[in-house]
Amino acid sequence: MTMQNKLTVSALQWTGASLKVLDQRQLPEKIVYDEYTDVAGVTEAIASMRVRGAPAIGIAAAYGVALSARQHCTQADHWRQKVAADIELLATSRPTAVNLFWALDQMKTILAKQLDNPIEAVLACAEKIHADDLAANLKMGELGADILAGATGVMTHCNAGALATGGHGTALGVIRSAYQRQPIKVFAGETRPWLQGARLTVWELAQDGIPSTLIADSAAAWLMKSGAIDWIVVGADRIAANGDAANKIGTYSLAVLARQHGVKLMVAAPTTTIDWGIDDGAQIAIEQRNPNELLPACYNYEGSLVSAWNPVFDVTPAELISAIVTERGVVMNPAEHGVRGLKNAL
């Protein structure tokens, strides 16, 4: 294995008969893998954010369908309906990451065919989705690192690393690849309220020996004002055809601040994150999570006068994005033509 594809952290492991999921709620204190053999379990693992990050959600769902096929295809009657019902259940797990729906559509296409061995066919599709995601990330890493040439400092938000993907990461993949060429100063926002930056990103980088500096989310403007960063590099959960990009809540604030301070914003995401069917970001469903994720533990929001508003994604308009990096190529200044040109690119 080369330095480039040495994988130090893996969010998902297929055992041959089950799916092992690294419980990201317990990181960095504990490394615990939960093992799933049915779709109800995988759906809960996604909804509860044991596994999270758009591409990893899609991969987990694909393996979920493989588990469903193993469970139902041996029983002659109605197996297609049972697998279809499991696919519908997986689709309810989280609303924003389009990779989930893309992966389930891949499975529906396979299952619509006459299959000699549906169990093998569905598993092969899941394994391909997993392997293709890693390959896309390695490619994006190189393309993104080319753009970062000469930069001395970057900031990232949330966790768009190996933990959120099939390996290497999207935004963190770009940062990893750039760091391998030439050390670069890396800042990570803590990413309230779930602390993906503080608990996951800085830990993941440390596993690879890459130093990073954690900042409170509210320190981002001051960091930019100091001149320490040239680029913000983030992932995405869904990109509209015009280049508007949904990502972890707080990305839009960073984009606005970046424009004020002459800092550039790169969105790195595989084309499986592009929703070709929507023209702009207004059509992206934004997940609202339980107010208890935000409120101090002493409040019981039900029946109390204190509530919380907890949208967990926001949409950054294309005009605030300097570059969208995909495995099919880079779109500079996506506000000009959107990302439609990537649809038929090799």
Q: What residues line the site for ligand MRU (CB under 6 A)?
A: 52-55, 97, 158, 160, 164-165, 170, 196, 234-237, 247-248, 312
CB of 211 to ligand MRU, least distance (A): 21
Which of residues 53 and 141 has its CB atom nearest to ligand MRU in the complex? 53
3-state secondary structure of 51: coil
Which of residues 111 and 148 has its CB atom nearest to ligand MRU in the complex? 148
Which of residues 54 and 155 has its CB atom nearest to ligand MRU in the complex? 54
Hey, which residues does 326 pair with through a beta bridge?
329
Measured distance CA(323)–CA(333) in Å, rounded: 6
Measured distance CA(130)–CA(55) in Å, rounded: 9
CB of 22 to ligand MRU, least distance (A): 13
CB of 119 to ligand MRU, least distance (A): 29
CB of 232 to ligand MRU, least distance (A): 12
Which of residues 248 and 264 has its CB atom nearest to ligand MRU in the complex? 248
280 is catalytic: no
DSSP class of residue 285 equals P
Which of residues 98 and 148 has its CB atom nearest to ligand MRU in the complex? 98
Q: For the purposes of burial, counting CB atoms within 10 Å of the CB of 167, is it exposed (0-12), middle (13-18) or buried (19 or more)?
A: buried
Query: Closest by alpha carbon to 328, among 264, 273, 247, 266?
Result: 273
Return the residue nearest ligand MRU (CB atom): 235
Measured distance CA(222)–CA(56) in Å, rounded: 32
CB of 172 to ligand MRU, least distance (A): 8
Location of structure tokens 């696919």? 87
Which residue in the list 133, 217, 237, 314 is annotated as catalytic? 237
Alpha helices, DSSP H only, in 149-196? 171-181
Hey, which residues does 153 pair with through a beta bridge?
185
Q: For the chain, how long is the longest CA-to-CA vector?
A: 66
Please list the active-site residues: 237
